[in-house]
Chains A and B, each alone.
Chain A
Amino acid sequence: MEEPRIGVYVCHCGTNIAGTIDVEEVAKYAAILPHVVVSRHYEYMCSDPGQELIKNDIKQLGINRVVVASCSPRLHEKAFQGVLRESGLSPYLLQMANIREHCAWLHEKGAETTEKAKRMVRAAVNRVSHHEALEIRQVPIFPATLVVGGGIAGIQAAMEIANSNQIVYLVEREPSIGGHMAQFDKTFPTLDCAACILTPRMTEVARHRYIRILTYSEVIEISGYVGNFRVKIRRKPRYVDEEKCIGCGICQEKCPWKVPSEFDVGMRERKAIYTPFPQAVPNVPVIDTEHCAYFLKGKCRACEKFCDAKAINFEQKELIFELDVGNIIIATGFDTLDAAKITQYGYGRYPNVFTSLEFERLCSPAGPTEGHIVLANGKQPDSVAIIHCVGSRDKNYHEYCSRVCCMHALKHAHLLKEKTKADVYQMYIDMRCFGKGYEEFYQRVQKEKVNFIRGKVAKVTDEAIGEEEKGKLIVLVEDTLLGSMLRVPVDMVVLCVAIEPRKDAQEVAKLFHLGRSEDGFFLERHAKLDPVATMSEGIFIVGCCQGPKDIPDTVAQASAAAARALAMIVRGKMEVSATTASIDESKCSGCKICNLLCPYNAIFFDDATKVSRINQVLCQGCGVCAAACPSGAITHNYFTADEIMAEVEGVLA
């Protein structure tokens, strides 16, 4: 190995590091460490002039190893590796000392913290001498993309990619795409009809020659890695032949069995054979085997008798098949909080307490009341209370803000004013109307004579005190602006329920190797700089599965993820990290311990030579095999025993 010539670069990061650590002293200290040729400090090493500093030293001083003492390698390692690469050095000849996140920000200002930074730099210098110029390989990728979830997020991402003539598989577990947005009546703040802007997109997706919709289907297994995923899909039987069905609806008419409709959140009934809503895509019904008389009792088949197209097929079986894709976009959406959990608001006990989603269906002309906002007894309400933050911003349920409720509460108030003569009360903690045109909409609704009461509702009850409260629901709330308790008698209560992670978010996270943030939503790679990527390369998260957000933000995120996927598709190949494991065959005893440990089956035993070998494309570089090899024959590149031990010695020296 050539003689190491190390350059050390200590970053001030403005005052982020320099405010706590004496960077000059650290740089001075590093200058006298073995093999260090030059040691500098600079305001922002990641900036252009900072990077130029390193490039110049590589050129003029013949630096062949670089230590950057700055922020987390998880933030800027790629940037600094790029500097080495552009200067003709292998990017793996870099070592970062994370003196910002793990030192300056974590400890108090003082000599002790500067001492720690010195030890961190010393460890990095010690380590980098052992680094080797690893070879970066390129492998071809599958151009197709898998989109999981057919709500507005999934639809948008699929369209963006397919419009570039690239194949997209759009998997949706429900019988139709459309997601929550299909259930909404109007969208804030423009009051666009949700169906009018969504259903054309749904049809477009269905007709798109580069999109294959797989409804009533779920991803059950995933293997491979970025660019080369293999996903196993389970397609549940619809018992209706998609090719033959003409969507006439006669089967649904003739089916004698009624079940509460999921799409109408139980406010209307559907049949045992059904499409969730009339604009469903595909417009092919499914048979719900849990309620179909034929599946339960072996008799009926009324749908089959009346189907002229002969599309009903009780023999259909579930289908399991595999797809090869390069990128995966997760758009699995959200659930809403079960309002019955918050017992003091009376949901489930009082028939005129509705959730916001139920209210959407009440407003919808295609809903159970054909758009008439009515009470359980069919009459129009004279007064309505809309309660904000039901389960959001509440330590007992979710601490986070659900972000859409203030705005849809305003929208509901506006629709009530438009469609009824009711007095409307908004009980809010804070009004958060932050988006484009949102504040203006808030002002508009204020002018429509909606009553705003600032306070968190304590209770909804039917226990009347006075005459005017009889037969009403009484909302108990403290008006914090007046400083007094109020009893507001109303006919109807709408609960703005919190947006929650899907009930099966944990399983989905496990399936796709996603992290979750404390609130339970999927975790992005970097909150600010990489908000749609995840820790799993090639897997992106968009829409409410990442956190509560409105439709404009969801659509923007979906387009962003599509752009990320397309960037790789256009390149047609990808670089594979060189930080894999390799076996020194002369040391391998052929014990096969590593074969069984490898989570990717990347290690196989070569019977001819009686040694184990590692498939470099399958290896993901976890290092489990290297740690377990009793002969020390396996090297985990970039994390070799020599490198790690040098770092340990550097810290403790």
Chain B
Amino acid sequence: MSFEPKIIGFLCNWCSYAGADLAGVSRMKCVPNVHIIRTMCSGGVSPAFILKAFQAGADGVLICGCNPGDCHYREGNYKAIRRVTLLKKVLERLGIEEQRLQLHWICASCGDEFVDVVNNMTAELKELGPLRDAEREV
């Protein structure tokens, strides 16, 4: 059987979760690899959640928030950028490739973009292969 990456998607309630809802309502189709967890804001996604996901067996973590300037909480998404940028550096040291943690902006009317992001990220991680157990231990 081919490798199917497991991806945890943290989606902000206001834009991205609604965008994913719209993709469903519009019956757009995407691969089932991303499991969505609703958060209120992309800025509220703690690095601990992301590390936990990798530790618990995720091959990738996707964070989606409102477009820059459109954050429901003014600028939580900017905080998400900073956090993800920093965390990527830490993950790199741990041997976790940067494609495994992705941040995308999905607006509430962007169902098609959500589907693209899910399909693309899954394809990328398929290529990359599973996250090795040794890295999870750290």
Contact = CB atoms under 8 A, between A and B. Distances in A.
Given A116-B32, A515-B108, A626 B46 contact: yes
Interface size class of A (residues with CB under 8 A): 35 or more
B56 A599 contact: no
A109 to B, nearest CB: 11
Most chain B CB atoms below 10 A, which of A108, A518, A651: A651
Interface string B105-116: 001111000010
A621 B14 CA distance: 12
A599 B36 contact: no
Contacts of A636: 40, 44
B93 interface: no
B53 A648 contact: yes
Interface string B48-90: 1100110011100000000001101111100100010000000
A107 B31 CA distance: 7
Most chain B CB atoms below 10 A, which of A112, A123, A636, A644: A644
B29 to A, nearest CB: 6
Contacts of B57: 652
Interface size class of B (residues with CB under 8 A): 35 or more
B52 A535 contact: no
Most chain B CB atoms below 10 A, which of A102, A106, A510: A106
A106 B23 contact: yes
A73 B46 contact: no
Interface in A108-148: 108, 112-113, 116, 119-120, 123
B21 A597 contact: no
Contacts of B58: 648, 652
B15 interface: yes
Given A74-B18, A599-B73, A624 B8 contact: no
A107 B32 contact: yes
Contacts of B43: 622-624, 627
Nearest to B17: A74
Interface in B1-47: 6, 8, 13-15, 17-18, 20-21, 23-25, 27-32, 35-41, 43-47
A620 B73 contact: yes
Interface in B78-130: 79, 83, 107-110, 115
B1 to A, nearest CB: 12
Nearest to B70: A515
A458 interface: no
Given A106-B29, A647-B37, 12 more contacts: A72-B21, A101-B23, A103-B24, A116-B32, A123-B35, A515-B108, A516-B107, A516-B109, A523-B108, A622-B41, A644-B49, A649-B56
Give 3 closest A-B pairs by Cβ, nearest first: A623-B44, A101-B24, A105-B24
